[in-house]
Structure 1
Amino acid sequence: MKAVEYRLPKEFDKSFIVFTERGTYFPCPWHYHPEYEFVLVNRSTGRRMVGDHIGYFDEGDLVFMGPALPHVWVNDAAYVQGQAKEEASAVVVHFVEDFLGKNFLSLPELEPLKKVLDLSKRGLVITGKTKKEINRRINGMIGESGLRRLSSLFTIFDILTHSSEYQPLASPSYMQHTQGYYSDRFSKITDYILRNFQHEISLNEVASEANMATTTFCNFFKEHYRMTFVEYLNTIRIGHVCKLLADSDENVVNIAYECGFNNLANFNRQFKRLKGMSPSEYRKTLELQSA
């Protein structure tokens, strides 16, 4: 399923885009664009796909995505068939990284924001009180202009940088630039895994790459990645599997071996654990969304 590159027109007197998407259903196909994007669903239910993640959305769902991350929101059948009691409605905010100038993110005050922007390259679903507050701000931006509108966006940035109420959606391997938000040690570990995940990787190998004893490395990894090395490696591999399922017609078994799985039973178990469905069901879902 090839993603379509989208461009939205920007008003000459505004530095970023805010618009309401309203209709029987959301018409956009599987697509990507160079802007960062907030998508707030005010009315409608259905499935959303962000990178290799497939999940469900309902009213109030809020997702923040970085540039070049393919995504699509697919309404439930009642909306697509015009049988829903109300129209689907969402508010979308688009901005490019340098919308306030090339050196905008070089400001020391924006260092915490840069970390959130890097994380958003995998897509972030925002939850809890943070979601409620940002949703209120985004809906309010529709009637705003000038400095008040810009101030609202910066308030949203500030809320995000002081919150932990968000979860990444796409797997780490889906966007090859995700290693940007790690320190040098994290970069070295992540880069090694991304370069070698298709082969057998032992704990001793990757620990040596990080210049750490194996036991120290295991403890460090679990503390900072919030999962074991093996769990992370499987996440990387399944993310690449999803990309190949979307981009090619290759046999699932061949894809599994190509991505480093030598045991098909383990592959199917890991895929279902991470994606909530079998590889064949995942591919079928992609085909239905692109139909």
Structure 2
Amino acid sequence: MRLVFAGTPEPALPSLRRLIDSPRHEVVAVLTRPDAASGRRGKPEPSPVAREALDRGIPVLRPSKPNSPEFVAELAELAPECCAVVAYGALLRDGLLAVPARGWINLHFSLLPAWRGAAPVQAAIAAGDAITGATTFQIEPSLDSGPVYGIVTETIRPTDTAGDLLERLADSGAALLSTTLDGVADQTLTPRPQPADGVSIAPKITVEEARVRWDLPAQVVERRIRAVTPNPGAWTQIGDLRVKLGPVQVGADAPESLSPGAIHVDRKNAWIGTGSDPVRLGQLQPPGKKLMNAVDWARGARLDSAVRAS
């Protein structure tokens, strides 16, 4: 089947590679977001998907307005039978959706209709879900609401960060997307409408929303930090410093009582109080420095007893 692949970040790469290597399909072009500033110098860099496509000799389309009549006409000239989507990063309107005869098929990293939106993996971890997965579905103009072709499931492990879980889903989801497209090409798959019940929304998480709220219970704090690791990254204010945090632990040997945001450092550990039990800090990153062991940093910083995390 003649395909255009739409995707931008690294989690889209397993799907792109699988489809390029498939004897059943021909990826005639890749659609991705425009080059974005990266690194300290802010130099525009191609997306991971763009780099992979260029390395494979596949044309790359980077429209700033993908729903514009000009780009719709450009895509139509490529005559794709179907468009495959994995984390492209822009809403697709009716004109664009009408181009391929067999539509646009999206790989979404949740078990729809749960966690529609931009951050399904983060939302599942933060909510304490035990199971998540990936879904292939036909794109409609409304958000992640189209009929479903297939799913794969994945257990959320107790220490999973969003990065850990997304890496596994990207791999299992690539196999699901490939199988789905094979079925669409053979006309052996028919999508089924999503259930009306169980809809939840997972909007993009902002940097401000990744700030740790120490007044919440320890288990909630622990999950929320894992949910935003590595991106956008959990952080807190300690005195005058904005400090980035790695995952924390709810420890059985924690101090008996610390008020929310209070810091306690002993010989082996650094603790911060929450709305319930204290949590043990793992690694943190002060401004302008690399990740380091939290207790080593706390000793070197010689924190005043009145300094709190907030």
* TM, length-normalised to structure 1: 0.26
Q: Which has the higher contact order (CA 8 A, sep 6+)?
A: 1
Which protein is richer in helix relative to its size? 1
Which protein is richer in strand relative to its size? 2
